[in-house]
């Protein structure tokens, strides 16, 4: 199984070490479409296989992210709907134009500077554009939905709307924002089943163009002194979805395919819905189909894929860190921060990074964002603490294999005593994992 979060830290036994970490968020506020919606889908009450009022079979990515951040007051694992839905202004069809108004009307909390904000509606923009009679509807729009001028105008408007949303949130106190780019919605069953391959290729290029402009807009905000103090994280969901479609097994998923008749050959299908030629008759919320990539016809992910997205975002905004090491009573106490709550992991140890000889030290249950892990220490060399040792902490990866931490130990002399010592290194691993809901 591919490691999503695998932070490697190299720690030497030469005293207490302390690193810095950002302060814990007090709450989370979400502005999204169906990908983040937890409370408006009424199809579940009509017998369709949805978890509560979500558009998937379990928790959405923002709920998992809230749990990973330790914001259990804003996240419910067992309730049908998100406990604090007022924190989540997400619904089907929320375009960037609608969001401009909703953010303008948003009553920000007094502690907004210490809250985590999420804005992700650019997928809804493209879904609406692809069905718009003036832009992308192949049956009625100019040039069978491929008029470049019309698409360019729409894309520029979407980016302008996003700029208004983000800068308005900044004015209301937002200082930490997650703003993913647009996914390749041409791959979802809603469109890959009934649009030509030429049309899908055209729209895919428009999404790439949009993401380029979206990134440039975020850089403009980042470089402007008018928005000093604003940290924007923009997960590359476009690339993630492509990676999942190509290497689904690496994420613990299955890319179920069927001939959708669009001229593009086998295409991904969803677990349920009329558009999916390969839909499962025996699907249920926590059974057959949960390993698929897509759940319903809207192109919303399964809860398992939602968890993958959440864990990638978690590692981006709050990478796991060994915040300090203290030696006491024959043990090393590793103080770890930004633990992904609810995601189990492993602590490995090694005395030789050059040989990459890692061995499991202990299993980790992430119960809190900050935890202390106690492990036995090897014997220290004579003269420990008198000088002669040097080393440095390591660094962590972001959503993939890490860069190894670095450290060194040399022969040292303390008065007339000389000694040799091997370094001890630690790394934390948190593989992809999902438990319903």
- Tell whether 396 is covered by a domain: yes
Rounded distance between C-alpha atoms, residue 29 and residue 109, angstroms: 10
DSSP per-residue string spanning 305-349: HHHHHHHHHHHHHS--EEEEEEEETTEEEEEEES--TT--EEEEE
- Tell whether 343 is covered by a domain: yes
State residue 392's pLDDT score. Answer: 33
State residue 407's pLDDT score. Answer: 27
Tell whether 333 and 284 lie within a shared domain. no
Backbone dihedral angles phi then psi of residue 400, each to the nearest 5 degrees:
-165, -170
Rounded distance between C-alpha atoms, residue 135 and residue 143, angstroms: 9
Tell whether 295 and 375 lie within a shared domain. no
- Tell whether 380 is covered by a domain: yes
Instruction: Please give the DSSP secondary-structure letter assigned to residue 294.
Output: B
State residue 310's pLDDT score. Answer: 96
Rounded distance between C-alpha atoms, residue 145 and residue 289, angstroms: 33
Instruction: Please give the DSSP secondary-structure letter assigned to residue 22.
Output: P
What kind and span of H or E run contains 257? strand 257-259
Task: Give one word for 265, left, alpha or beta, with left for phi > 0 and alpha for psi -120 to 50.
Answer: left
Question: What's the half-sphere exposure (Cβ side, CA atoms, 13 Å) at 174?
Answer: 27
Tell whether 338 and 296 lie within a shared domain. no
Of 316, 350, 385, which marks where a domain is finished? 316
Tell whether 162 and 219 lie within a shared domain. yes
State residue 350's pLDDT score. Answer: 86
Tell whether 283 and 235 lie within a shared domain. yes
Long-range contacts of 413-419 (CB under 8 A, 24+ apart): 413/388, 414/383, 414/386, 414/387, 414/388, 415/386, 417/382, 417/383, 417/386, 419/381, 419/382, 419/383, 419/388
Backbone dihedral angles phi then psi of residue 324, each to the nearest 5 degrees:
-175, 155
Of 298, 316, 334, which marks where a domain is finished? 316
Tell whether 393 and 340 lie within a shared domain. yes
Question: What's the half-sphere exposure (Cβ side, CA atoms, 13 Å) at 406?
Answer: 1
Of 316, 335, 354, which marks where a domain is finished? 316
Q: Are 394 and 10 in contact (CB under 8 A)?
A: yes
State residue 424's pLDDT score. Answer: 76
Number of domains in the chain: 2
User: What are 212's two structure tokens?
Assistant: 């380029």
Rounded distance between C-alpha atoms, residue 89 and residue 75, angstroms: 14
- H helices present in 224-254, as ranges: 237-246
Rounded distance between C-alpha atoms, residue 437 and residue 36, angstroms: 15
Tell whether 243 and 105 lie within a shared domain. yes
Rounded distance between C-alpha atoms, residue 62 and residue 68, angstroms: 10
Bond prior to 8 in cis (omega within 30° of 0):
no
Instruction: Render each residue's pLDDT in the chain as its tens digit; 437 residues.
Output: 333 333 333 333 333 344 445 568 999 999 999 999 988 888 866 667 898 889 999 999 999 999 999 886 544 454 444 545 678 999 999 999 999 999 999 999 999 999 999 999 999 999 999 999 999 999 999 999 999 999 999 999 999 999 999 999 999 999 999 999 999 999 998 898 889 999 999 999 999 999 999 999 999 999 999 999 999 999 999 999 999 999 999 999 999 888 877 777 788 888 987 666 667 878 889 888 999 999 987 789 999 999 999 999 999 999 999 888 888 887 889 999 999 999 999 999 888 878 778 999 999 999 999 999 999 876 544 454 544 433 333 333 333 333 222 222 222 223 333 333 346 788 999 998 998 88
Tell whether 260 and 394 lie within a shared domain. no
- Tell whether 51 is covered by a domain: yes
What kind and span of H or E run contains 64? helix 61-68
Rounded distance between C-alpha atoms, residue 313 and residue 367, angstroms: 19
- Tell whether 436 is covered by a domain: no
- Tell whether 76 is covered by a domain: yes
User: What are 184's two structure tokens?
Assistant: 């390749």
Q: Are 126 and 93 in contact (CB under 8 A)?
A: no
Tell whether 228 and 340 lie within a shared domain. no
7 three-state secondary structure:
strand
Q: Please give the residue range of the domain that contains residue 140.
A: 28-316
Tell whether 301 and 388 lie within a shared domain. no
State residue 218's pLDDT score. Answer: 98
User: What are 272's two structure tokens?
Assistant: 């349920």
- Tell whether 437 is covered by a domain: no
The model's pTM is 0.85
Rounded distance between C-alpha atoms, residue 339 and residue 68, angstroms: 7
Tell whether 179 and 164 lie within a shared domain. yes
CB atoms within 10 A of CB 354: 7
Return the CATH number at 48.
3.40.50.1110
Tell whether 331 and 348 lie within a shared domain. yes
- Tell whether 326 is covered by a domain: yes
State residue 190's pLDDT score. Answer: 87
> Rg of the chain's alpha carbons, rounded to an integer?
24
Rounded distance between C-alpha atoms, residue 307 and residue 67, angstroms: 11
Backbone dihedral angles phi then psi of residue 279, each to the nearest 5 degrees:
-60, 145
Residue from 325, 331, 354, 327 nearest 428 by CA: 325
241's CB contacts (< 8 A; 6+ apart) are 183, 184, 187
């Amino acid at each position: 199984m591919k490691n999503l979060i695998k932070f490697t830290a190299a720690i030497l036994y030469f005293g207490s070490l302390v690193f810095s970490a950002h302060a814990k968020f007090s709450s989370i506020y979400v502005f999204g479409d169906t990908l983040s919606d937890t409370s408006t889908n009424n199809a579940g009450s009509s017998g369709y296989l949805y978890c509560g009022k979500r558009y998937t079979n379990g928790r959405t990515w923002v709920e998992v992210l809230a749990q990973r951040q330790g914001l259990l007051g804003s996240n419910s694992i067992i309730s049908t709907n998100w406990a604090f839905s007022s924190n989540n202004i997400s619904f089907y069809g929320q375009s960037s134009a609608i969001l401009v108004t909703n953010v303008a009307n948003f009553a920000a909390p007094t502690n907004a500077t210490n809250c985590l904000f999420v804005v992700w509606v650019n997928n809804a923009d493209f879904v609406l554009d692809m069905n718009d009679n003036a832009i992308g509807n192949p049956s009625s729009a100019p040039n069978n939905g491929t008029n470049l001028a019309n698409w360019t105008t729409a894309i520029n408007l979407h980016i302008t709307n996003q700029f208004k949303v983000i800068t308005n949130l900044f004015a209301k106190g937002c200082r930490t924002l997650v703003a993913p780019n647009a996914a390749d919605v041409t791959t979802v069953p809603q469109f890959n089943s009934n649009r030509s391959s030429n049309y899908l290729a055209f729209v895919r290029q428009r999404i790439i163009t949009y993401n380029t402009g979206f990134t440039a807009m975020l850089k403009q905000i980042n470089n402007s002194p008018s928005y000093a103090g604003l940290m924007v994280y923009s997960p590359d969901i476009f690339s993630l979805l492509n990676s999942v479609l190509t290497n689904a097994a690496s994420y613990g998923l299955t890319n179920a395919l069927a001939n959708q008749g669009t001229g593009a050959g086998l295409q991904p299908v969803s677990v349920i819905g009329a558009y999916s030629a390969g839909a499962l008759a025996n699907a249920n919320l926590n059974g057959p189909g949960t390993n698929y990539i897509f759940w319903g016809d809207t192109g919303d992910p399964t809860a398992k894929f939602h968890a993958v997205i959440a864990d990638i975002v978690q590692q981006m905004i709050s990478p796991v860190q060994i915040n300090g090491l203290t030696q006491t009573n024959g043990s090393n106490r590793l103080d770890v921060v930004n633990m992904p709550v609810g995601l189990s992991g492993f602590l490995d140890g090694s005395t030789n990074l050059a040989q990459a000889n890692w061995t499991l030290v202990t299993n980790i249950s992430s119960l809190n964002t900050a935890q202390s892990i106690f492990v036995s220490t090897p014997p220290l060399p004579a003269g420990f603490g008198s000088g002669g040792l040097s080393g440095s902490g390591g660094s962590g990866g972001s959503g993939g294999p890490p860069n190894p931490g670095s450290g060194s130990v040399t022969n040292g002399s303390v008065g007339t005593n000389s000694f040799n010592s091997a370094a001890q290194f630690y790394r934390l691993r948190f593989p992809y994992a999902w438990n319903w809901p």
